[in-house]
Amino acid sequence: MQVAQDYGGALDSLRFSLAGEIVELLVLTDDPLFLQTLREAVGAARRVWHVPTSDKASDLLVAGQVGILVLDVLTLEAQAARFVGQIKQQFPDLVVVAAGSRENEAALAALISSGMVYRFIHKPMSPGRARLFTDAAVKKFEDQRRRLATPAFPARSKIVNRGWLLAGIAALAALLAAAIWGLHGASPTTTAAPQAAPQAAPAEIPASAPPPAPPAQAQARQDTQALAGPAEERERLLARAENALLEERWDEAATAIEAARRAGVEGGRLAFLTAQLAKSRERAKAAQAQARAAENGASGAPAAAGIASPDNVPTVQQADPLAQLLKNANERLAQDQLIQPENDNAKYYLLAARAIDAANGGLAAAAQDFGARATAKARRALALEQFDAARSWLDEAAAVGYSSADSASALQELETAVAGRKFLSNVVSASELTALKTVQPRYPEKADRMRLPGWVELDFTVADSGEVRDVAVHGASAPGVFEQSAIEALSQWRYQPVVRDGKPVAQRARIRIRFNPG
């Protein structure tokens, strides 16, 4: 057994292990957390191949007939669009899923709208969201494969038979023409007919140039070709609507849903999206009505009455400014307008009210409502692994003086999640650690019969006790062959603990275990 960290013979191993099958997911990224999230989302049901650079991605695409490419745009930066264009030109049936920031999405907008990029995922992402996108890409790929597997033309034997049939009909027509000519005599208009008729239908149509299909077959083929483009467009519209609803971009969702309906989309999926949009619009209408009522009741406040104080905390000059501020704050809370729009949101009015009377009971209740809502948004962002957004919402809650066991718990969960992400991303080579005990892996019988060499790359944790824990497969030359044997062996290893600041600490590491036939 040998331990190594190099890219090594992945290409040859891939060619050998696939044996004509399709690699389902190739991931181009240099972000270990992004890769780990994808692996968790995909699980053991799909193969995941990882490459850190575009040239290695191209090599594996050629070698392995990869059907799906997940591209981390941040890895290639400005070269991403060019790379996708080149890859799609060489592999037009490749399903490309891109991931990155909103700026990256804007840079690839033309490729997304043209269908060259099938879906775009915003980073960071949760395993659940990644699973939705990868499942959609797999379905897209399988649909393409089924369409390509449908034969486009009839068999040659049928073509030959059809040719003889046409020849027979032509011969019969020639005999009839000759009989008529014999009865009525030749004329300039009829003598050419018997000669031209046999030339119109050859005895056999060459296989390299198949004849037009019968009307039913030709129509079926035209229908299939006509539906392929619209079907892809409908899927893109539904995906755009789902993303817009998830990210609370209601106008964009409405546009995508209407476009999907005009494109012929029907069924439960469109009905669900339409219902979700309707609920959002109802909330928006209610918010507008409350805003108009508030403006009428406040005689133009806050636009006319709001004046910025030296410390940027707004004040209101009217008969009962505190009551009006609390009224506005509660209205914005009911509309869920916590921090937007600027200078007309719940936080704005709560800070103004606190500047007048921080001990007011109505202010305390409104601040509690604001804090509870902000904490709920923080937990939602935390569930989606959007840690910056979660921290921002918890800061907003603290800004109005909110403090509760729930917010403290959310903050603790956030800190734990951030620390966990940092721990998972800090992976060192096992060659930097000192192994105190090693166990040789068992060479699988299946590989032994085939005399198959290979390797398995594993991520694992060296606990503060030196024990090996949380072993996970990072990559394998022949999926399903060596992984279990490698995991069983590595789980029995023991390392000298990593020491920092005089104390043993846990450390994430990566090792490549090679298998060679004896």
- The answer on 470 and 410 residing in a single domain is no
- The answer on 103 and 86 residing in a single domain is yes
- Report which of 419, 366, 373 is spatially closest to residue 396, judged by C-alpha positions: 373
Confidence of residue 512 (pLDDT cuts 50, 70, 90): very high
Mean pLDDT throughout 50-62? Answer: 77
Confidence of residue 17 (pLDDT cuts 50, 70, 90): very low
- The answer on 467 and 393 residing in a single domain is no
Domain end point (choices 149, 180, 215): 149
| Greater model confidence, 54 or 156 | 54
Judge whether 131 lies within some domain.
yes
Question: Is residue 101 a contact partner of residue 76, using CB atoms and an 8 Å limit?
Answer: no
- The answer on 433 and 419 residing in a single domain is no
pLDDT at position 236 is: 77
Mean pLDDT throughout 377-385? Answer: 90
Judge whether 269 lies within some domain.
yes
Domain holding 504: CATH number? 3.30.2420.10
Judge whether 171 lies within some domain.
no
Judge whether 110 lies within some domain.
yes
Cα separation, 106 vs 112, whole angstroms: 9
pLDDT at position 315 is: 42
Q: Indicate whether 304 pLDDT > 50.
A: no
Judge whether 174 lies within some domain.
no
Cα separation, 83 vs 80, whole angstroms: 5
- The answer on 413 and 341 residing in a single domain is yes
Judge whether 163 lies within some domain.
no
Cα separation, 245 vs 254, whole angstroms: 9
Count of domains in the chain?
4
- The answer on 401 and 464 residing in a single domain is no
Q: Is the preceding peptide bond at 230 cis, omega within 30 degrees of 0? A: no
Domain end point (choices 121, 149, 177): 149
Q: Which domain holds residue 283?
A: 230-288
Q: Indicate whether 258 pLDDT > 80.
A: yes
Q: Indicate whether 189 pLDDT > 60.
A: no
pLDDT at position 181 is: 53
pLDDT at position 282 is: 67
Ranking 52-61, 125-134, 292-301, 437-446 by mean pLDDT, the lowest is: 292-301
| Greater model confidence, 270 or 398 | 398
- The answer on 439 and 417 residing in a single domain is no
- The answer on 21 and 78 residing in a single domain is yes
Q: Indicate whether 51 pLDDT > 50.
A: yes
How does the average pLDDT of the chain come out, rounded? Answer: 75
- The answer on 431 and 419 residing in a single domain is no
- Report which of 401, 311, 300 is spatially closest to residue 350, judged by C-alpha positions: 401
- Among 203-207, 319-323, 348-352, the range with the most confident prediction by mean pLDDT is 348-352
The 8 Å CB, 24+ separation contacts for 212-217 are 213/153, 213/154, 217/154
What's the angle, vertex CA 315, arms to CA 311 and CA 318, rounded to 5? 160
From residue 319, how far is each of 94, 292, 421 by CA, in Å? Answer: 68, 20, 53
- Give percent of the chain with pLDDT exceeding 70: 67
| Greater model confidence, 220 or 102 | 102
Q: Are strands 507-515 and 454-462 parallel, antiparallel or unpaired?
A: antiparallel
Question: Is residue 324 a contact partner of residue 362, using CB atoms and an 8 Å limit?
Answer: no
Ranking 2-6, 37-41, 59-63 by mean pLDDT, the lowest is: 2-6
Judge whether 157 lies within some domain.
no
Ranking 2-6, 147-151, 258-262, 481-485 by mean pLDDT, the lowest is: 2-6
- Among 187-201, 206-220, 371-385, the range with the most confident prediction by mean pLDDT is 371-385
| Greater model confidence, 133 or 380 | 380
Domain holding 28: CATH number? 3.40.50.2300
pLDDT at position 490 is: 95
Ranking 57-66, 78-87, 437-446, 452-461 by mean pLDDT, the lowest is: 57-66
| Greater model confidence, 94 or 192 | 94
DSSP E strand stretches across 373-453:
427-429, 435-437
Judge whether 194 lies within some domain.
no
| Greater model confidence, 178 or 434 | 434
Q: Is the preceding peptide bond at 188 cis, omega within 30 degrees of 0? A: no
**pTM for the full model?**
0.35
pLDDT at position 441 is: 94
Confidence of residue 517 (pLDDT cuts 50, 70, 90): confident
Domain end point (choices 149, 178, 210): 149
Mean pLDDT throughout 241-264? Answer: 79
- The answer on 134 and 33 residing in a single domain is yes
Ranking 208-217, 274-283, 356-365, 449-458 by mean pLDDT, the lowest is: 208-217
- The answer on 454 and 417 residing in a single domain is no
* Helices 405-425, 387-399: inter-axial angle, 10-degree rounding: 150
pLDDT at position 188 is: 41
- The answer on 447 and 400 residing in a single domain is no
